[in-house]
Amino acid sequence: MSGDVCIVGIGIHRFGRTDGLSGVDQGVFAVRQALADAGIEWPQVQFAYGSSDAAGNPDTMVDRLGLTGVQFINVRNGCAAGGSALFSAQMAIKSGEFDIGVAVGFDKHPRGAFNAMPAEYNLPDWYGEVGQMVTTQFFAAKIMRYMSLFGISQKTLGLVAEKAFRNAVHAPHAWRRQPVSLDEILDAPLVSDPYTKYMFCSPAEGGVALVLASEKKARELGKPLIRLKAATMRTRPPHSFEVFAPSVDVVEDDTGPRGTASRIASADAFRLAGIGPGDIDVAQLQDTEAGAEIMHMAENGFCADGEQEQWLAEGRTEINGALPVNTDGGCLACGEPIGASGLRQVYENVVQLRGDGGGRQVPDAPKTAYSHVYGAPGVSAVTILER
């Protein structure tokens, strides 16, 4: 294939809670908006990849979009499902088989924490019976160790959450659009130490769709070329520390960070794109909790472990900072519908590269944008876009 895969259409159903609309409804809404944005009709779509964890099979939406016989593949990959659908979609075009297709993700979760069952993760029943089948425990323990190794303060976690809610004020698709003060964040009840309730995202609802096209097709459509320079998806290495793990490997020297799926997917993406972390103008990093954004800054190569304390203090990840991170408020403000979440990050990056961010627009016409999503049991997907 000559040329890059391009994103020529984007659509989103607002995140949060939408009573009366199913997850599939929200996915269909997003697809229709993305098709209109691309200036095409559903019968022109040659293939689709859809991700949902808890809201049904995405391929069922052909009922609503049109029974064109299109090939439509369902993807499940933990919280990296959306990123995995996008990875798959770009491969269909890269292979030369297709010119234009859709990646769509949606979800609709019940209130409260995710409620995974041990058997779904090849774990014994007792692990859930004793109260350890709880994602928040793992995320809290991961940042607790990181803080003790690299001197990150709880105040810095609070600054991440404060930024998320402040950015989301300007994002119409975000769930929580009220600013919350740093003091209120830090003084709120603890959910799992060191995290207060404002430092965790909540399971939510929403839908996102992207129309992908070959460069040739994108030029025909007359769309601005938003190039997908890399889309990678990787699983965990040995010795990594993951959610839903009754045990973790010991290592000889445990004074540094361990390998993660994110580190592999990130290094891979930068290699494919032929650029480095210093070349990125805006980034969306998985922030299911405030500490995840902190750790993912380092896991994706943007800073050294421990430098985040200074980065946040200096406002370097603010919208007008050196590397704006989670410009739409991320998972903290948007919530996490598993199937849609990774695609929301890419949606936001396209908005930023088009210069359509309004009150949350990154200044000076950003040219490169990075997204990263992480899920159980140790899967990560990364994309790099270039204008």
Partner 1 sequence: MRAIAEGLFTDETPPRLIGGKDRETGRIVFPCPASEGYDAVPLSRDGTLWSYTVQRFRPKTPPYAGPEAFSPWVVAYVELPGEVIVEARLDDVAFEDVKVGMAVRFAPSPLDLSDPESPLIPAFSPAAGGAA
Residue ranges binding partner 1 (CB under 8 A): 112-113, 115, 117-118, 124-134, 136-137, 140-142, 144-145, 148, 189-194, 245-250, 254
Contacts of 193 (CB under 8 A, 6+ apart): 140, 144
Q: At its nearest, how many Å lie between partner 1 and the CB of residue 336? A: 17
Distance CA 248, CA 383 (A): 29
Smaller CB separation from partner 1, 88 or 196: 196
What distance in Å separates the CA atoms of residue 87 and residue 305, rounded to the nearest whole number?
28
Nearer to partner 1, 63 or 193 (CB): 193
Q: Whose Cβ is closer to partner 1: residue 203's or residue 324's?
A: 203
Residue 232, strand partner residues? 382
In the complex, the smallest distance separating the C-beta of residue 259 from partner 1, rounded to whole angstroms, is 15
Residue 197 CB, shortest distance to partner 1, in Å, is 10
Rounded to a whole number of angstroms, the minimum distance from the CB of residue 145 to partner 1 is 4
Tokens of 257: 């960070």
**Exposure b/e, 148-161, CB count within 10 A at least 16 = b:** eebebebebbbbbb
CB of 129 to partner 1, least distance (A): 4
Task: Name the minimum Å distance from CB 81 to partner 1.
Answer: 22
What is the DSSP annotation of 165-216? HHHHTT-TT-S--S---HHHHHHSPEEETTEEGGGB--B-EEEEEEEEEEHH
> Rounded to an integer, what distance in angstroms lies between the CA atom of residue 290 and that of residue 299?
15
Provide the minimum distance between the beta carbon of 128 and partner 1 in the complex, in angstroms, as a whole number: 3
Q: Which residue has the tokens 């090939």?
A: 71
CB nearer to partner 1: give 115 or 153: 115
Give the span between the Cα atoms of 201 and 114, in whole angstroms.
11
Burial 73-88 (b: 16+ CB within 10 A, else e): ebbbbbbbbbbbbbbb
By C-beta, is 191 or 275 nearer to partner 1?
191
CA distances from 2 to 90, 216, 278, 298, 367 (A): 14, 8, 27, 34, 21
Task: Decide whether 82 or 128 has the Cβ nearer to partner 1.
Answer: 128
Nearest approach, Cβ of residue 192 and partner 1 (Å): 5
Q: Which is nearer to partner 1, 42 or 121 (CB)?
A: 121
Give the pairing type, strands 100-108 and 205-214: antiparallel
In whole angstroms, what is the distance from residue 299 CA to residue 58 CA?
31
Nearer to partner 1, 39 or 246 (CB): 246
Q: Find the shortest distance in angstroms from Cβ 375 to partner 1.
A: 19
Q: 134 or 272, CB closer to partner 1?
A: 134
Interior CA angle at 21 toward 328 and 117, to 5°?
80
